[in-house]
Structure 1
Amino acid sequence: MAYSTFSIPKQVIHGNNALEFLSTLEGKRASIVTGGHSMKRFGFLDEAKTQLEKAGMEVQIIDGVEPDPSITTCKAGGAKMAEFQPDWIIALGGGSPMDAAKVMWVYYEHPGYDFMELVRFNFPPLRTKAKLICIPSTSGTASEITAFSVITDTDNHIKYPLVSPQIVPDVAILDDRIPAKMPPLITAQTGMDVMTHAIEAYVSTAADDYTDPLALHAIQLVFEYLETAVKEPTNMVARQKMHDASTMAGMAFSNCSLGIVHSMAHKIGGEFHLTHGEANALMLPYIIQFNKKATSKYARLEGILGIDNLEHAIWNLNARIGLTKTIQEGTNTVIKEKDFLAVLDRMSERAEADACTLTNPRKPSVEDIKNIYKAAYYGKDVNF
Structure 2
Amino acid sequence: MDFDFSPTCKDMQQRLLDFMDRHIYPNEHRFHEEVEANRRAGNAWVPTKIVEELKPKARAAGLWNLFLPKSPRVPEGLSNLDYASLCEIMGRVHFAPEVFNCSAPDTGNMETLERYGSEPIKRAWLDPLLRGEIRSAFAMTEPAVASSDATNIQSRIERDGDHYVINGRKWWTSGAGDPRCKVYIFMGKTNPDAPRHQQQSMIVVPADTPGITVIRPLSVFGYDDAPHGHCEVLFENVRVPVDNILLGEGRGFEIAQGRLGPGRIHHCMRSIGAAERALEFMCKRLSSRVAFGKPISQQSVWHERIAESRIMIEQARLLTLKAAYMMDTVGNKIAKAEIAMIKVVAPNVSTRIIDWAIQAHGGGGVCDDFPLAYMYAHQRTLRLADGPDEVHRNAVAKLELGRHAAIPTSSHEAMPVTRGS
Return the TM-score normalized by structure 2.
Answer: 0.25
CA radius of gyration, larger in: 2
Return the TM-score normalized by structure 1.
Answer: 0.27
